[in-house]
Amino acid sequence: MAALLFCVLLVPLLIVLLLSIILLLFLNVSRCSHPVLV
């Protein structure tokens, strides 16, 4: 029961963490590539 609750709490946390990391990487890449393009 405790393990199930832990998984239920952990999965959304991991998803949010992954999305934020992907978003940060995307913003960094777009910010770095803009001066090169311009």
The full set of domain ranges for the chain reads 1-29
pLDDT higher than 80, residue 32: no
- What six digits make up the tokens of 13? 């946390």
- What is the tens place of the pLDDT at every residue in 2-31? 888 888 999 999 999 999 999 999 888 877
Among 23, 19, 26, smallest CA distance to 34 is for: 26
Assign 1 a pLDDT band (cuts: 50, 70, 90): confident
- Per-residue confidence (pLDDT) for residue 18, from 0 to 100: 97
Give residue 28's pLDDT.
84
Evaluate if pTM is beyond 0.75: no
Tally of CB atoms within 10 A around 3: 7
